[in-house]
Structure 1
Amino acid sequence: MDQWMIVVALFSILFVLFYKWSVAKYEIFSERGVAHEKPWPLIGNIPIKAMFGRVPVLKHMIELNLKYTGSPVYGIYALRDPMFFIRDPELIKLIGIKEFDHFVNHHSMHNNMQESILSKSLISLRDGRWREMRNILTPAFTGSKMRIMFDLIKSCSEEGVVHIREQVESTRDAGIDLEMKDYFTRFANDVIATVAFGLSINSFRRKDNEFFRIGQSLSKISAWSVVKAMLHALFPRLMKLLRIQVLDSTYVDYFSSLVNVTMKYRQEHKVIRPDMIHLLMEAKQQKLADLQDQSKDARYYAEFTDEDLLAQCLLFFFAGFEIISSSLCFLTHELCLNSEVQDRLFEEILSVHQELNGQPLNYDKLTKMKYLDMVVLEGLRKWPPAISTDRECCSDIELCDENGQKLFSARKGDVLQIPIFALHHDPANFEDPESFNPERFAEDRRVERSVFLPFGVGPRNCIGNRLALMEIKCIVYQLVLNFSLIPAEKTTHNLLDDIRGHGLKPKDGFWLKFKPRQ
């Protein structure tokens, strides 16, 4: 009996200690005067159903943001960690641009790749090393460099059109129904393969090619991946000690081998191909040249190694594989449901096609299409590729408006979330936000840039936004020129309710009907 009492007593003590640890941070918002809901022990304010993918996550974000209308900042406990959500446009400008030096880094929870190669990628780097890498990479994403890569992307777009046309001809029907997530994932896969890894792969013909198969496995968010990410957030030291990584190292090694073999072959055979590997190899050589006259210590801290180059290729893979395919799914979904917008877009595309008079589409013509630009921007407004971004405060600062009135006191270590999706769906920022209206981006109308953030904000925005826009516009041009996009039998008419869980995809997929234009 005494032994049982000791066991019960020890268990009770451990339970009490665990409980106190689980709620130890839950006074922060109250102490700081930040609006928030009462958290549950350990899980904080995360709905239990959301952990199992049963909550319409995007709709929940909108409702949560609107609930705190009038509050410039509101708080959410993500498990044990307090996160400050910034909804005031002036505060967003201060954090992202004007006081950027206090908010240079993303939250270190992004770095739960631990010692993996991705810890060297631009999104994971911090402070001076991030600035250095950003400066090295920026020349690779200028308009002139995009023009060089345009033909590679155009070729992938044309293959995508050929694939649909062949299917239509084989069925001898008036049109075909396609699940667009699979279609655009294959397109994005081919673009990333050719642009970032120097490979020509037609995933429409070679359905189960290795690059596509491994890419899907690596980008897929499984239940186990979510559990591992949560465990990294709760017990980072333990997970590092146990060497448990969120990403499967086998898949990462596959891409590492691809890049290393490609670089070695090009160096030995002096091969030049207008793609990302070539631009990064150029950037590396330029960096080495710039460091010739500097001290040995400076070279050590400023070096740009093959491993750094590989990390950026992997980052472009993750960004391109999922973000581009999702953005295109949402945009074509809106075009099929908004026939007037599609008809006007077709008129502009047909006009440009006739101006080309049989010549292939070129980068300059594509970028000068005003209505196409408006349509794409509205697609990114309603369905932004990143639903939120964050900044970590590196030192205490009082954030004040132009009149000197304090808006928020940020403290060192604060994690500030900018809820991009919710901001884009706030009627205070965009009138009738659930409608698809490209006219918002007409030249004579001003959009508040501090609340239009499809590629992030300030110096730490997405470095590849030009490349992303070129990919989206190129494939949309080809599809709308050749086909009418109309609703299919399985097309969902309420995406906000149908999208649940961690993958931004309706439960029945993105279905469209393609009807060839005469």
Structure 2
Amino acid sequence: MNTHTQIPVHAKLATRPLGLWHSLQAARSNLLEILPAIAVKQPMVSGKTGLRWHMVMDPGAIRRMLLEKVDDYPKSKATKNLLKPAIGNSLFIAEGADWRWQRRAAAPVFSHRNVAALAPIMTAAAEDCCQRIAERAPAAVNLLDEMVRTTFDVIADVTFSGDGDFDAQAVHGAIDAYIAEAGKISILDMFGAPDWVPRPGRMFFGSAVNDMKSVADKAIDARQARGPRAVPDLLDLLLAGEDPETKRRMNTAELRDNLLTFIVAGHETTALSLSWALYLCAFDQEVQDKARAEIHAVCGNSAATGDDVPNLPYVRMIIDEALRLYPPAGIVSRTAQADDVLCGREVRRGDTVMIPIYALHRHEALWDAPDAFRPERFTDRKEVDRYAYLPFGDGPRICIGASFALQEAVIILATLLGRFRFTPVVGRDPSPVMILTTRPEGGVWLTAEAV
């Protein structure tokens, strides 16, 4: 079926002001629903819901926030309140000098050479996934569950080399429980209440988070006692990492917080991107056929490898387009530290300034047919405004693991599309729902048939 005239699933944006109570309700069920429909038409939208807030969709103003005035727009208190209990003062949360030294120490971990060396682990995980799907084909499969398992297999292996001292599933379960139940927007966050005020719903997962940190600490201590492996994994590389300017190295708590951050970011976001990409390929069979032709020409009947990634540009375009339509971080929030002017509008110190990436990626002034699935729009990445497309952020705080995630996504998607034809299950379309990330609610149910 030709679907070029049809539109894949999308969130329903607000058509009227929600007010504080309705904003809170929407925030706890689907953050995308707090976005006003005019956010895909205007460069900036402002309002007051307890606190003054602004949503910025203008690429020039976003460049100012993320690059030119990055220190004036640190991550918002609400973001830190949500994540700090689980991942501490890691790279994702730290600011200023504390962030800079951690970034310098961790940057070599994700060098091109180190990322390329991890490709065989990604290929093996993709092969295992194909085996599981083949055992059930042609039955319907929830590809969201499969992608979460596959990407977690990758991150657990590249992080701890399958080390018996590390209970990866226990850590995964604790993090997932924390995000699902405790990581929801509180009315206290919206009002900017101090950190020490307890957030109902976040107080009951302390033991799970403490257990998770304890498991990671023991694994780090065991590795320090035993020494690095012949082929270094992520933990080895972090243990060896140091700030080239100060020679400072991460202590156990800093190592643990950053490892847990990489485990969450390293599988959750890639799993979501792959799930949405598979949904879109099932939605548009012409795209799927074109991708499969490229895959068979490059890989034959074999799984994709790291060496194949540069030769699979159309598969990469599909992933880029999936990240545009369903960015894992649908909204990012900052708190202005100084008075400023964005899009000719006054921003005061203390204002919440959001970049609604979901709306930015569907903005009518920036994208042709913004709700349509068109991988070809990424044929020439230079034609895409750098600050109109932000799946990994930008500026100094651009995602440190972007190259890792993209390599993994291309290898896994190419391997699956090379082995199976995916078609939708009638009546089981996913819904884009964002709590902390943009997940396909209801799962991605597809029928897989061997090709």
Q: Which TM-score band applies after superposition, normalised by the shorter structure? A: 0.7 to 0.9
Matches within 5 A, 1:468-483: 468-483=405-420
Aligned with 2:340 (options 351, 376, 397): 397
Match of 2:292 in 1: 346
SS of the equivalent of 2:140 reads strand
Deviations 1:347-394 (A, max 9, x none): 11111113xx96x74323213321111111111111111102233322
Residues 247 and 466 of structure 1: is their aligned pair in 2 closer, same or farther, counting only changes over 3 Å?
A: farther
Aligned with 1:452 (options 368, 386, 389): 389
Matches within 5 A, 1:76-87: 76-78=47-49, 80-87=50-57
Judge conservation of contact 1:218–1:247 (CA < 8 Å) in 2. no
Cα deviation for residue 177 of structure 1 reads 0.5
Unaligned runs of at least 5 residues, structure 2: 1-14
Cα deviation for residue 52 of structure 1 reads 5.9
Would you say 1:61 and 2:32 are equivalent positions?
no
Matches within 5 A, 1:1-400: 40=19, 43=20, 46-47=22-23, 49-50=25-26, 53=29, 58=32, 61=35, 63-66=37-40, 69-70=41-42, 72-78=43-49, 80-103=50-73, 105-112=74-81, 116=85, 118-168=87-137, 175-199=138-162, 210-220=170-180, 222=181, 225-226=183-184, 229-234=186-191, 236-237=193-194, 239-240=196-197, 245=202, 248-272=205-229, 273-283=231-241, 286-287=242-243, 291=246, 304-354=250-300, 361-398=304-341
Counterparts of 1:244 and 1:370 in 2: how far apart (Å)?
44
Cα deviation for residue 128 of structure 1 reads 1.6
SS of the equivalent of 1:226 reads coil
Aligned with 2:404 (options 445, 467, 476): 467
Counterparts of 2:449 and 2:17 in 1: how far apart (Å)?
52
Residues 215 and 194 of structure 1: is their aligned pair in 2 closer, same or farther, counting only changes over 3 Å?
A: farther
Aligned with 1:417 (options 354, 368, 380): 354
Counterparts of 1:435 and 1:140 in 2: how far apart (Å)?
37
Deviations 1:475-503 (A, max 9, x none): 101101110111123432xx5xx445737
Cα deviation for residue 424 of structure 1 reads 0.9
Cα deviation for residue 509 of structure 1 reads 2.6
SS of the equivalent of 2:88 reads helix
CA RMSD for the aligned pairs? 3.2
Percent identical across equivalent pairs?
24
Cα deviation for residue 290 of structure 1 reads 5.8
Residues 167 and 189 of structure 1: is their aligned pair in 2 closer, same or farther, counting only changes over 3 Å?
A: same
Residues 394 and 275 of structure 1: is their aligned pair in 2 closer, same or farther, counting only changes over 3 Å?
A: same
Counterparts of 1:238 and 1:340 in 2: how far apart (Å)?
51
Cα deviation for residue 438 of structure 1 reads 0.9
Cα deviation for residue 257 of structure 1 reads 2.8
Judge conservation of contact 2:126–2:150 (CA < 8 Å) in 1. yes
Counterparts of 1:161 and 1:467 in 2: how far apart (Å)?
21
Judge conservation of contact 2:329–2:438 (CA < 8 Å) in 1. no
Aligned with 1:510 (options 440, 444, 450): 444
Supply the AA of the counterpart residue of 2:26.
A
Judge conservation of contact 1:161–1:482 (CA < 8 Å) in 2. yes
Match of 1:486 in 2: 423
Deviations 1:439-477 (A, max 9, x none): 101128711111111111211221111111122112101
Counterparts of 1:134 and 1:445 in 2: how far apart (Å)?
27
Counterparts of 1:483 and 1:395 in 2: how far apart (Å)?
53
Would you say 1:435 and 2:405 are equivalent positions?
no
Counterparts of 1:441 and 1:433 in 2: how far apart (Å)?
13
Residues 126 and 48 of structure 1: is their aligned pair in 2 closer, same or farther, counting only changes over 3 Å?
A: closer
Specify which structure has the bigger relative contact order, considering alpha-carbon pairs within 8 angstroms and separated by 6 or more residues: 2
Residues 52 and 314 of structure 1: is their aligned pair in 2 closer, same or farther, counting only changes over 3 Å?
A: closer
Unaligned runs of at least 5 residues, structure 1: 1-35, 169-174, 293-301, 400-405
- Stretch of structure 1 that moved more, 140-149 or 258-267: 258-267
Residues 100 and 239 of structure 1: is their aligned pair in 2 closer, same or farther, counting only changes over 3 Å?
A: closer
Using the size of structure 2 for normalisation, the TM-score is 0.85
Counterparts of 1:348 and 1:49 in 2: how far apart (Å)?
45
Counterparts of 2:419 and 2:199 in 1: how far apart (Å)?
54
Supply the AA of the counterpart residue of 1:515.
E
- Stretch of structure 1 that moved more, 137-146 or 302-311: 302-311
Deviations 1:48-73 (A, max 9, x none): 652563x7x5466362414xx34x32
Counterparts of 1:514 and 1:151 in 2: how far apart (Å)?
24
Counterparts of 1:326 and 1:317 in 2: how far apart (Å)?
14
Cα deviation for residue 200 of structure 1 reads 6.6
Match of 1:5 in 2: none
Judge conservation of contact 2:106–2:238 (CA < 8 Å) in 1. yes
Deviations 1:155-177 (A, max 9, x none): 21111111111223xxxxxx120
